[in-house]
Amino acid sequence: MENYYPEHKGNTVLKYLVVAVLFFVLGWQGTALGLWDSANGEIVLDPKDENPSALARSDVDLDLFWLVWDEIEKKYVDGDKLDRQKMIYGAIEGMVEAVGDTYSVFMTPDATQAFTASLEGELEGIGAELTVEDGRLVVVTPLKESPAEKAGLLPDDIILDIDGESASDMTLFDAIMSIRGERGTTVTLTILRKDLKDAFEVSIVRDSIDIASVTVEDLDGGIKYLEVNQFNDKTTEEFGKAISEMLLDEPKGLIIDLRYNGGGYLNVAVEMLSYVLPADSTAVVIRERGADDEVLKTTGGAKLLNVPIVVLVNEGSASASEIFAGAIQDLERGVTIGTQTFGKGSVQEVESFNDGSSLRLTVAKWLTPKKRAINEIGLVPDIIVEISDADVEAEFDRQKDEAMKYLLNL
């Protein structure tokens, strides 16, 4: 998977079903330009005078747009090759890009289809979540057991070139589609790493990316280890099943590993928290423009209220992972161990249009239950544990080991 995330779906009991990274069930109506009349497929303006979008449009002169359009139509040397639909999409992409928000993106039908596959675990590529920072293509996290992880990609790696082409000359989705490809083919990336002076190349053989949301392991001393790789459509069911099954063993402690988890749907984080927090606990606070803060609470049905919990996080933990860890931390339900998280504290809403295109727009910021803002900051774990190069070479997971020690010593 090559993506970035949290997401939000509209018109549900829990209004926010998020983004991360990073994305994605289709079927909403509406448009940034007005209201979508699904009966005839036309864009119509909201008739209410107080509609802020209508007021803004009244101050915008689009004559220049059409002047440029006409110049292209009349004078472009290869006029017979003009793709007018592509021109429209390009204009919209440019408008959204001009907002200046990394996570707000207009997606063509092809990009939307590819984007949607990311949370369904149905794609071929290298298995890395990407974002853009200061105009540079950056790795948020490689997925566990993915070709990207096996090739040694790390969070915060900057991708300079993709098969010899400059990534800075591509849109994010062009870069994603260039990195994706058929299983067995190879992509060569030029990487700049913060601790290294010179850039280096890494060739990665693409593979099918089967995203297992949740995996479970029995550890010594009655400790259960639950690794959550994504917050997708399957995660709540898999997480709930794992929790129900481990209850039969009366666990002495639970490690929830969110390292290298780039996030996903916000509502999944809330649903997962509902298994380990009392009913009506504050899970996350949503702050929209011009509106009172909206508090999303756990829904009840907690099964692990008395089992000690450790949440593992690192620089690859983003979005919904930070929502989950932030709630555990603020409500003192457990401790967080690892390194500072990525810092993805915004919420995106996805609007889907009749032609298959979509708009992913930042509509809110989220805060922890104590109303801490973590965007571009991240969460600092309760217990900071670094993993050294020597640990990596010895294949020793120091953070997991420290979590074990903590729980066994309670």
Residues with a catalytic annotation lie at 319, 344, 348
Report the 3 state secondary structure along 333-400. CCEEEECCCCCCCEEEEEEECCCCCEEEEEEEEEECCCCCECCCCCCCCCEECCCCHHHHHCCCCHHH
Q: Which two tokens stand for residue 16?
A: 């926010």
Contacts of 80 by beta carbon, 8 Å cutoff, 6+ apart: none
H helix or E strand, kind and range, residue 340: none
Q: In whole angstroms, give the CA distance from residue 365 to residue 105.
A: 17
Instruction: Work out the number of other CB atoms within 10 angstroms of the CB of residue 175.
Output: 21
* Class of residue 40 by CB neighbours under 10 A (exposed 0-12, middle 13-18, buried 19+): exposed
Q: Which two tokens stand for residue 301?
A: 């049905």
Residues of 19-29 as b/e, b for ≥16 C-beta within 10 angstroms?
bbbbbbeeebe
Q: Using the 8-state DSSP alphabet, how is residue 220 labeled?
A: G
Q: At what angle do helices 266-273 and 235-247 cross, to 10 degrees?
A: 10
> Token pair 């080991």 is at which residue?
401
Q: Is the CB of residue 350 less than 8 Å from the CB of residue 49?
A: no
Residue (of 113, 244, 248) closest to 176 by Cα position: 113
Cα 292 to the chain's mean position, in Å?
25
Residue (of 238, 292, 291, 298) closest to 267 by Cα position: 298
